[in-house]
Amino acid sequence: MYAVIKTGGKQYKVSAGEKLKVEQIPADVGTEIVIDQVLAVGEGDALSIGSPLVSGATVSATILSHGRHDKVRIFKMRRRKHYQKRQGHRQNYTELFIAKIASELGSVTADAPAAAPVQA
């Protein structure tokens, strides 16, 4: 079973048990969140498309971590004018573990994610 969800102004196709990096969500690590902006749900040949949202469909996720993406370097230059501008940007993200997808087509639950190994 899979679902198409909307969070942070973007759309993601997810299934139970996946890890996903989305735009930063202001919540603590370990918190379980419920995403109710589900645009479509599918299982096998059955597909339920919302207009705009699928009624009664939810996706439960657990926040695994917060972080920052790699730096994107911006470089502007005007030829022959001795103009150069350098800039960088790092976008914040939240890593989610998709624990459960529930809809009229059924419900799928994934096992909890394995704990990260501790480095000494």
The pLDDT, as a whole number, for residue 111 is: 84
- Confidence band of 115 (pLDDT split at 50, 70, 90): low
The pLDDT, as a whole number, for residue 112 is 77
Q: Is residue 100 part of a domain?
A: yes
Report the alpha-carbon distance of residue 47 to residue 13 in Å, rounded.
13
What would the pLDDT profile of 34-58 be if each residue is shown by its tens digit?
999 999 999 989 999 999 999 999 9
pLDDT at 26: 95
- Domain assignment present for residue 116? The answer is no
Q: 115 lies in a domain?
A: no
Nearest-angstrom CA–CA distance, 97 and 84? 42
Residue 119 lies in a domain: no
78 within some domain: yes
Domain of 10?
Answer: 2-109
Number of domains in the chain: 1
Looking at the predicted structure, is the pLDDT value of residue 90 above 80?
Answer: yes
Residue 114 is assigned to a structural domain of this protein:
no
Model pTM score:
0.83
In a domain, 118, yes or no: no
